[in-house]
Chain A
Amino acid sequence: MSKSFLIDTTLCTACRGCQVACKQWHDLPAEKTINRGTYENPADLSFDTYKLVRMREEVINGKLNWLFFPEQCRHCIEAPCLETAGDPGAIYKDDKTGAIIFTANTKRLNAAEIIESCPYNIPRKAPDGTLAKCDMCIDRVENGLPPACVQTCPTGAMNFGDRDEMLALAGKQLAVAKKKFPKAMLIDADDLNVIYLVGYEPKLYCKNAMASNAVFDITRQMALKRMIRPLTNIASRLL
C-alpha cells in the first residue's frame, strides 16, 4: 500500500511551519529574499525550496478570501517525470511508499525536459543541472515518522498515512468542507499521492494547482520518448 498526503487547504492558516520544517529536515539553505509586497516568500520553488505556501487574495462572490496552498510535489501514481527520465538511477519510485525520488544522478538528465514533463511545474534545477523536489521525507517515513511538514502542522491541514486511510479521510473532510464551500473538491485524487482539498476553483489558489491541459501534450511527448528510449539508453551506455 502506498502512502499519501491529504492537504486540506480549508484548515490551512498559512503559518508556514511546514515550509520551515521542510528546510530544517533537509538542511536546505535559506534564500536571500526581499519583501515583494506580499507575505509569500521565496518567490517560487527552487532547488533549495521544496515546499512553498502560496497566498492569494481573491474576491469570490463579493467576499474577500485569503487562499493558502502549501505547494509541493504530488508524487504522481504514474509520474511523468519518471517516465520522461527513463533512468531509475536518477528518478525512481519507492515501492513501499510510492514516493517519487530524485537522486544526484538527475544531473545527467535533460533538466528542461523533466521540468516540462511535470503537469504541476514542481522540479527545480541547481546551477549544475541537478534536480530537486519534495522527497516525501522518505528517510523519516522509513523510520516510522511522518514527513516533517505533517509533523509540524498545528491544524490538521497536513495529513499523511496509508493511501486508503487518506482517501477515507479525504472523503470525510470533503463532506465537512462542502457545508461551507459548496464547490469544494479534491484535486486529481485518483492520479496523485498528494491529494489537495480546496474550497474553491483550484486555479484561484495557485497556477499549477491542477494538472493543466498541456498534460496531454506531455503524455504525447512521453509516448515519443518511450519510442526512442532504447536508443538513448544504448547511447548513454556507450558513452
Chain B
Amino acid sequence: MTNHWIDLKNSDCILIMGSNAASNHPISFKYVQMAQEKGAKLINVDPRFTRTSSKADFYTALRSGTDIAFLGGMIKYLLDKKLYNKEYVENYTNAPFIVGKAFKFSDGLFSGYEAKNRKYDKSKWAFDMDSKGVPKMDRSLKNSRCVLNLLKKHFSRYNTKLVSSITGTPEADLVEVYKTYAATGARGKAGTIMYAMGWTQHTVGVQNIRTMAMIQLLLGNMGVAGGGVNALRGESNVQGSTDQCLLWHIWPGYLKTPRASNVSLSAYNKKWTPKSNDPLSANWWQNYPKYSVSLLKSFFGEKATKANDFGYDWMPKVDDGTDYSWLTLFDEMYKGTVKGLFAWGMNPACSGANSNKTRKAMENLDWMVNVNLFDNETGSFWKGPGMNPSTIKTEVFMLPACVSVEKEGSITNSGRWMQWRYMGPKPLGNSLSDGDIIMELGLKLKEIYKEGGAFPEPILNLKWDYMTDGLYDPHKVAKEINGYYLEGPKKGKLVESFSKLKADGSTSSANWLYCNSYTEKGNMSARRSKVDAPNNIGLYPEFAWCWPVNRRILYNRASVDLKGQPWDKKDWVVRFAGNVKNGKYVSKKWIGDVPDGGWYPLENPDGTKRKDAKHPFIMRKHGYAQIFGPGRADGPFPEHYEPLECPVEKNLMNKQRINPVAPVYGTDADAYATCDPKFPFVGTTYRVSEHWQTGLMTRTQPWLLELQPQVFVEMSEELAKLRGFKNGERVMVSSARGSLECTAIVTKRFKPFKIAGNTVHQVGVPWHYGWRWPETGAEESANLLTPSTGDPNTRIPETKAFMVNVTKK
C-alpha cells in the first residue's frame, strides 16, 4: 500500500476491484465502513457478487481477465470529459514529456517487438532528451508526441460499447462507475483502490495495476489522504518478506540481484544506479551504492573490504535474461534439473499453479526439506493421489516449525508498518522458530565447508552472529537490518537513518529501507502510542514503525500544490510551514507526515520558481510519476489482451489475442486450451474468510472446517440449469491440466456474461483445500486446474482467469 489500512477512512470513493476485501481482509472493512458513514461511495467490481459487493453502494460484474478494458474505458472517459486534475498532471507526472519517434503502437504491438524471443526492445520507447540530457517537455500539453496526447490516442479505442462487449459489463454500469470515481479528481477529494490477487494473478497483472495507477495520477489521487494504490497483501508478512527479498530478482530493500554481466561491484553499481541531469530531480536511487555496499558489509562484516569489493564476488549472480521465478523453478524441477528443495513455510503441492505438474516435478527431487507446522500435501506428495510410492526415491525431511505466536519478531503489514510481536507460549514439543532453524543450518553449513567444498568463501565469510546464549536473537537481526556505524566516533552505534549510509564500507545495513527502524532510541516497531499526528488523519506516527523513515503515506509531497500547501485543506497529509519574507520562503519546515524529502516547495508564495526544490516523485529518475512507463516488459501503456486461456476467438481491442510477451512453458504437463469446446466456461480461483492460504492451518481446525467443510464451485442458476445440476450436489470441474470434485453452489451471485453477443458462463473455486485433510481425501486444490503461465514482469501465475468444464460426477 502507498497509504495504509487506517487511511481508507479518509477516502471519498473506494473502488474495490481485484479483491474481495470483506471476505479476505475483514478488518479493512472497519475503515471502509467508517468512510462510508462519512458519505464515501464504495464501488465493487467483481465477476461474482461477494461479501464485499453486499456492502457496496454500487456493484457491477466483469468477466475475469478484462480489467484493462474496463479501466482503459475510464481513462478515455476522464480524458474525453477533461475530468483529470490538470494542475497535478502537468506538474507531477510525465504527461508533458515528449516521447521519441521510435515509439509506435499498431495491431496490438508496441514498437520493438521481437517475435522470435517474444520480447520487446524497450529502447524504442525512450523519451526525447534536450541538450542537457533532461527529457523534453511541453507543459502546455499541445505537442502531439507528449505523453498525454499519446495516452489519448492509445485509449481512444476504449469506448464503452467495445469495452462492454469485452468485459460483459453493461454500458450504463461502466458509465456509473466512471462517473462516480471521476468525481475524486476534484481538488480536495480523494479516491482509493483496494486490490489483491484478483489483479496481480494474470498475464497482464502488472499492467492491470499500472492502469489504475495511471487513473490515480490523472485524478491527483497519489500522495493524498484517502488515496493511493493499495495492494492488500495475501498474508500478514508478505510485505515484510518482499522487502527482505523473498523473491529471486531482488536483494533486500529492492536492490537488484546481480546479473552475470555485472562483473564487479563498480559495474554492478553503475548498471543499477540511475542518473538524472535535472537539478530538480532528487533521483533517490542515485544513492544505490551506499545501500549495496552497506548490505554487503552486513552480510560479510569485517571480511568485506574495499580491496575485495566488499565480498561482491561471493554473492550469487543470475544469468542475464534468465528467469528464476516459481513457475520456472518447478518447470526445471519437472525437467529434472533441480534436485533439492527447501519448502519453507509453504505448501507448493497445493499453492502453485498447475499442481499436477508441481507434484510430478517433486518426484524428480533427490531430497526435500519441508519446514512447516504440520505435515502437508508437499511433504507427503509421494503418497498423494496418483502417486506410486515404490517408484519415488525422494528423501523427505520434516522440520517442525513453531507457530507465529510462539516466537518474538516483527511482521510488516500491507501498510508497510513493521510491528514487533512478543513471544506468547513457548514452542510446542521439539518445534523451533524459523530463526533458530536457519541459524543452526548456517552453523552446520559453515562447519561442513570448513572441511572443503566448492567455493566455500560465501558460506565461511558470512557474518553469522545473531545468537544469544545459543538461541536465535530476533533483536540482533532487527538491529543488523537497521545497520551500524562501523567506523568513526559513532562506531558500534545504530545508524539513525538511511541518509547516513555510506558507500565506503563505514556503515552496514541489511536493508536500507528499514534503516531507522531500530536505533539507539530503541525498537521503533515496538512502539504502541495511540496519539495521532497534528493533522489528525489517523497516521499514529508512534504506533509501530513504517518504511521508509516512518513515512505513513508515500509520495506525500504530491498532496500539496507547487507552493507546498495541501490540495485538501481538511484531510491534509503534509504542509509547508516555513517562514515567508517578501513573498519568498526563507526557512524550511514541513508539518504532518514525514515528508517525501524535506526540500523547499517548487514555488515561493509569490509564484517564483525555486532552484533548491525537488519534484515530488523522488524514486523516479526524473522526479515525475510515470503515466508513460517505458520500463515494463509488455509496453509503456497498458493494453487489453485476453487471458492465455479465454472464451473468445479474437481480442476485440487489437489483433493480438494474448499478451505477446506472456511466458508459456512447453512440457507435456503444460496444456493450454482456448476456445476449446471441451472447456467452455471461464474459471477463476479465490479465497474464503474461513480458510487461510492452502488451508494447512485452517483445514485442520475443526471450528473452521465446520464453516467451510468442502471445496465448492460457485455457478449461476442459468449454468446449473443448462447442466442439470442441483444446488449442493457434487460435480466435476476440469481443465486441460487436471480436475477435482466440488460441491456445486448454485447462486444468484454469479450471472452469465454477454460477451460480443454470446453468452459466457463463469465459475469459481476456492483454492484452500488439499487431499491430506479433511481425512476423506476428497477435497482437492483448485490449483489442479490453473495454468503455468503468468505475468511477463513478475511471473506471478495466471490463476484468476482460465478455461474449465463442469460436469456431472
Task: Report which A residues bind B (CB closer than 8 A).
Answer: 11, 13-17, 19-20, 23-24, 29-39, 41-42, 57, 59, 64-68, 154-156, 176, 180
Query: A16 contacts which chain B residues (CB < 8 A)?
Result: 689-690, 707
Q: Are A13 and B55 in contact (CB under 8 A)?
A: yes
With A20-B707, A34-B743, A41-B707 already in contact, the answer to whether A15 and B689 are too (CB < 8 A) is yes
Which residues does chain B contribute within 8 Å of A34, judged by CB atoms? 709-710, 743
Contacts of A41 in B (CB 8 A): 706-709
Return chain A residues, CB-CB under 8 Å to B707. Answer: 16, 19-20, 33, 39, 41
In the bound assembly, the distance between CA atoms of A38 and B726 in angstroms comes to: 12
In the assembled complex, how far is the CB of residue A199 from the closest CB belonging to chain B, in whole angstroms?
Answer: 11
A225 vs B549: C-alpha distance when bound (angstroms): 72
Most buried by B among A13, A68, A155: A13
A20 touches B703 (CB 8 A): yes
Q: Indicate whether A35 sits within 8 Å of B703 (C-beta atoms), given known contacts A66-B49, A155-B29.
A: no
A sample of 25 inter-chain contacts (CB < 8 A) reads A14-B54, A15-B23, A20-B703, A20-B704, A30-B706, A31-B706, A33-B706, A34-B710, A35-B708, A35-B709, A35-B728, A37-B728, A37-B743, A37-B746, A39-B745, A41-B706, A41-B707, A59-B748, A64-B59, A65-B54, A67-B54, A154-B27, A154-B29, A155-B26, A176-B37
A42 touches B706 (CB 8 A): yes
Q: Is there contact, CB below 8 Å, between A154 and B51?
A: no
What 0/1 readout, one digit per residue, does chain B (670-707) give for beta carbons within 8 Å of chain A? 00000000000000000011100000000000111111
Once A35-B743, A37-B727 are accepted as A-B contacts, the answer to whether A68 and B54 lie under 8 Å apart by CB is yes
Chain B residues proximal to chain A, CB less than 8 Å: 22-23, 26-27, 29-30, 33, 37, 49, 51-55, 57, 59, 688-690, 702-710, 712, 726-729, 743-749
Measured between beta carbons, the chain B residues less than 8 angstroms from A33 are 705-707, 709
Q: Which of A14, A17, A35 contacts B712 (CB 8 A)?
A: A35
- CB neighbours (8 Å) of A29 from chain B are 702
The B contact surface, by secondary structure, is: mixed
Residues of A within 8 A of B749 (CB): 57, 64, 66
CB-based contact A66/B54 at 8 Å: yes
Give chain B residues whose Cβ lies under 8 Å from the Cβ of A156. Answer: 30, 33
CB distance from A150 to the nearest CB of B (A): 14
* Least distance between A101 CB and chain B CB atoms (Å): 24
A11-B29, A31-B706, A34-B743 known; 13 new pairs, CB 8 Å cut-off, are A13-B52, A15-B23, A16-B690, A17-B26, A20-B707, A23-B703, A33-B705, A33-B707, A35-B728, A37-B729, A38-B727, A39-B708, A41-B707
> Within the complex, what minimum Cβ distance (angstroms) separates B309 from chain A?
51
- In terms of DSSP, what is the predominant structure of the interface of chain A? loop
B703 lies within 8 A of A13 (CB): no
Which residues of chain B are within 8 angstroms of A65 by Cβ–Cβ distance? 54
Q: Separation in Å of the B67 CB from the closest CB of chain A?
A: 22
> Across the interface, which residues of B come within 8 angstroms of A15, CB to CB?
22-23, 26, 51, 689
Known: A13-B54, A38-B745. A30 touches B710 (CB 8 A): no
Contact of B30 among A19, A31, A154 (CB under 8 A): A154
Contact flag A154-B748 (CB < 8 Å), given A30-B702, A34-B743, A66-B54:
no
How far is B705's CA from A31's CA once the two chains are assembled, in angstroms? 9
Are A35 and B710 closer than 8 Å at their CB atoms?
yes
Kindly list chain B residues whose C-beta atoms are within 8 Å of the C-beta of A35: 708-710, 712, 728, 743, 745
- State whether A66 touches B53 (Cβ < 8 A): yes
- Report the 5 A-B pairs with minimum CB-CB distance, sorted nearest first: A37-B728, A30-B702, A37-B727, A66-B54, A30-B706
Which residue of the partner chain B has the closest CB to A67? B54
* Bound Cα distance from A13 to B22, whole angstroms: 6
- Min Cβ gap A142→B in Å is 25
Distance to closest chain A CB from B141 (angstroms):
40
Closest Cβ of chain A: how far from B27's Cβ, in Å?
5
Minimal beta-carbon separation of B809 from chain A (angstroms) = 14
Q: Which residues of A contact B29 (CB under 8 A)?
A: 11, 13, 154-155
Q: Say how far B282's CB is from chain A's closest CB, in angstroms.
A: 39
Query: CA A200 – CA B254 in complex, angstroms?
Result: 50
Inter-chain contact A57/B712, CB cutoff 8 Å: no
A30 to chain B, nearest CB (A): 3
Q: Chain A contacts of B746 at CB under 8 A? A: 37
Among B59, B705, B744, the one with the most A-chain Cβ atoms within 10 Å of its Cβ is B705
In the complex, A197 Cα to B697 Cα: how many Å? 34
Contacts of A24 in B (CB 8 A): 703
User: Closest CB of chain B to A10's CB: distance in Å?
Assistant: 8
Tell me, in angstroms, the Cα distance from A41 to B703 when the chains sit together: 11
- In the bound complex, how far is the Cα of B726 from the Cα of A34, in angstroms? 15
Instruction: Kindly state the separation between the CA atoms of A19 and B689 in the bound complex, as whole angstroms.
Output: 12
Instruction: Give A25 Cβ to nearest chain B Cβ, in Å.
Output: 11
- A-chain residues with CB within 8 Å of residue B54 when the two chains form the complex: 13-14, 65-68
Name the residue on A nearest B26 (C-beta): A15
Given known A-B contacts A20-B703, A20-B704, A57-B747, A66 and B51 have beta carbons under 8 A apart: yes
Report the minimum CB–CB distance from B93 to chain A (whole Å).
36
Expressed in whole angstroms, the Cα–Cα distance for A11 and B51 within the complex equals: 11
* Contact across chains for B744 and A37 when beta carbons are under 8 A apart: yes
The interface residues of chain B lying within 8 Å CB-to-CB of A23 are 703
> Closest Cβ of chain B: how far from A45's Cβ, in Å?
13
Give Cα A180–Cα B54 distance, bound, in whole angstroms.
13
Contacting pair B743 A64 (CB below 8 A): no
